[in-house]
Amino acid sequence: METRQQRPSYALVEGLSLENRPIFSRNNESIAISRQPEPPTRHKAKAVALPAVPHTKKRLKIRICEKCGLSPVERLPKSLSDNVIARLKVLGGLLTYRNDIPQEGRILIANAGNEAIVDQRLAVFPTIHGQRAVVRIFYKNKELMDVEQLGFSEQISENLKRIAARSEGVLLLTGPAGSGKSTTMAAILRYILNRFPGKSVVTLEDPVEIRIDGATQVQITPHGELTYPTALRSLLRQDPQILMIGEIRDAETAKIAIEAGLTGHLLMSTLHSGTPAGAFLRLLEMGIEPYQVTSSISAVLNQRLVRKICPKCKSQDPQTQKAEPRPLQAPTVREGVSTQIPAFTPALTLRACGNFPSPPITSPERYKPRTQKTEPRTSVRGKSFQPTGCDHCFNTGYKGRVLIAEMVTLDGRLREAILAKADAEQLEAVLAEKGHTNILEDGNRLIGQGITTQEELNKVCGII
């Protein structure tokens, strides 16, 4: 009879059990995740473990998501999948007998667990092959507490501090999920509490992700009675000075938030949009009047996270030693479409408010296109490096993440464009004309410093 070597026992991710007991046990064999994700070395303050249902009918695949990449950890027999998911449901306080609906919960942190873990969230979702379970592990990262530590350029950091010192206005943060928007807002709030003590700071979140000392944090229940509009209306009667809304999801929340920014409150929130120009158009689509947008919005911050090259295994790219700097093309404008914004007049204000029909932008003589004076800019080129892969980075070539961002503050020219209900292309042309540094150019700065790669930047920015 052929004998097989006994498989080693698997180490459980700390905190995913009560009193360090395994997730599931059968015949004295512990079934659990075999590797603990390390705390992130940079933005963002969380890692994600994915015990997930596989793409086939025969296996339960367990994977860990570290720095935007899924790494397979273990494959278990299909017969164990229901028991593993049921054990996770018990730890998260979910209904074990409901397998047909999505469920969300929290896994309690063991007293003897990892002190760096501050929260563990469980989400279960039904699929055609079974249930998919995702455990999100949030870490405490002292490197992401202040605005200076986030990795913004010096200009963006100074603009954020300048806005934080104001007593009214709206700061919008845009970007996809997982781009560090909550971490950025938490750092700004800490800066306000430390720099201007005595201010009343209130946050409305779903859920409360980061605990902030000195701030009143409120948990929103979107499927209950305490929704964003309800909580925001009530809080405005208590006259808070600083408000943070987790996300502007609907037109009602957007209207109240804009009104709060106009009535002596400094408000911060997130908005799902790919570009700052898209954020302005999104507010207009929600029914916000153009004059309200130009009067309330102080700035829009758009950010992404890119992976950093592993410092222990990165190697210099020989192809870039003799490469010439690659010019960045200026934004193109459609033929016949004008970037000339009409002068600000009372009639234009009434037209922007909807009292007069908006005239076509391309037909009148006074809307002739301006001559583009924007010179082609070249990316910063230093020693370019490429990822190699080692045990330190789990053979991925990347270790940690870093921030790239762009920030748009409203000036007279941009306000005129919004009042004229310009489209996204015209807004982008106005930004290019004023010398705006977009998010791709900010990423080229990191490439020139040998921090990330062109391939990673193209992947994050959606460039093929």
In a domain, 415, yes or no: yes
pLDDT tens digits for 341-382?
Answer: 444 444 444 344 444 444 443 333 333 333 433 333 333 445
In a domain, 98, yes or no: yes
The answer, yes or no, to whether residue 443 has pLDDT greater than 80, is yes
- Rounded mean pLDDT of 216-223? 85
In a domain, 1, yes or no: no
Residue with token string 């503050």: 409
Q: Domain residues for 446? A: 145-323+332-461
Pair 393, 442 in one domain? yes
The answer, yes or no, to whether residue 24 has pLDDT greater than 70, is no
427: enclosing H helix or E strand? helix 424-433
Pair 351, 445 in one domain? yes
- Rounded mean pLDDT of 217-222? 86
Read off the pLDDT band of 3 (50, 70, 90).
Answer: very low
Residue with token string 């296996």: 59
What is d(CA 281, CA 283) in angstroms, rounded to the nearest whole number? 5
Asked which of 117, 139, 161 is the last residue of a domain, the reply is 139
Question: What pTM value is reported for the model?
Answer: 0.72
Between residues 248 and 78, which one has the greater pLDDT? 248
The whole-number pLDDT of residue 163 equals 94
In a domain, 339, yes or no: yes
The whole-number pLDDT of residue 114 equals 63
**Tokens describing residue 365:** 């003589």
Pair 158, 113 in one domain? no
The answer, yes or no, to whether residue 338 has pLDDT greater than 60, is no
The whole-number pLDDT of residue 156 equals 93
Residue with token string 């158009």: 281
Pair 308, 208 in one domain? yes
What is d(CA 152, CA 362) in angstroms, rounded to the nearest whole number? 39
The whole-number pLDDT of residue 357 equals 43
The CATH number for 189's domain is 3.40.50.300
The CATH number for 90's domain is 3.30.450.90
The whole-number pLDDT of residue 312 equals 87
**Tokens describing residue 366:** 């006074």
In a domain, 105, yes or no: yes
The whole-number pLDDT of residue 301 equals 96
Q: Is the distance from CB of 244 to CB of 208 less than 8 angstroms?
A: no
pLDDT tens digits for 128-177?
Answer: 888 888 888 877 777 677 888 888 989 999 999 999 999 899 999 999 88
The answer, yes or no, to whether residue 421 has pLDDT greater than 50, is yes
- Rounded mean pLDDT of 26-43? 41
Read off the pLDDT band of 30 (50, 70, 90).
Answer: very low
CA angle 176, 177, 183 (to 5 degrees): 105
Pair 300, 348 in one domain? yes
Number of domains composing the chain = 2
Asked which of 93, 117, 139 is the last residue of a domain, the reply is 139
Pair 213, 135 in one domain? no
Pair 77, 194 in one domain? no
pLDDT tens digits for 244-289?
Answer: 998 998 899 999 999 999 988 999 999 988 899 999 999 999 999 9
Pair 307, 203 in one domain? yes
Asked which of 82, 112, 139 is the last residue of a domain, the reply is 139
- Rounded mean pLDDT of 62-70? 66
Pair 231, 186 in one domain? yes
The answer, yes or no, to whether residue 18 has pLDDT greater than 80, is no
The answer, yes or no, to whether residue 388 has pLDDT greater than 90, is no
Pair 171, 307 in one domain? yes
Pair 50, 174 in one domain? no
Read off the pLDDT band of 400 (50, 70, 90).
Answer: confident
- Rounded mean pLDDT of 315-327? 59
Between residues 206 and 6, which one has the greater pLDDT? 206
**Tokens describing residue 255:** 């209207």
In a domain, 11, yes or no: no
Residue with token string 């790494």: 71
In a domain, 414, yes or no: yes
- Rounded mean pLDDT of 232-249? 89
Percent of the chain with pLDDT over 70: 70
Most confident range, picked from 44-48, 263-267, 392-396: 263-267
What's the mean pLDDT when you consider all of the chain? 75
β pairing state of 201-205 and 315-316: unpaired
Read off the pLDDT band of 383 (50, 70, 90).
Answer: low
The whole-number pLDDT of residue 111 equals 60
- Residue spans of beta strands (DSSP E) within 159-200: 169-174
In a domain, 224, yes or no: yes
* Residue 28, phi-psi category: left (phi > 0), alpha (psi -120 to 50), beta (remainder): left
The whole-number pLDDT of residue 32 equals 40
Read off the pLDDT band of 69 (50, 70, 90).
Answer: low
What is d(CA 259, CA 289) in angstroms, rounded to the nearest whole number? 11
The whole-number pLDDT of residue 360 equals 42
- Rounded mean pLDDT of 191-218? 90
Pair 228, 130 in one domain? no
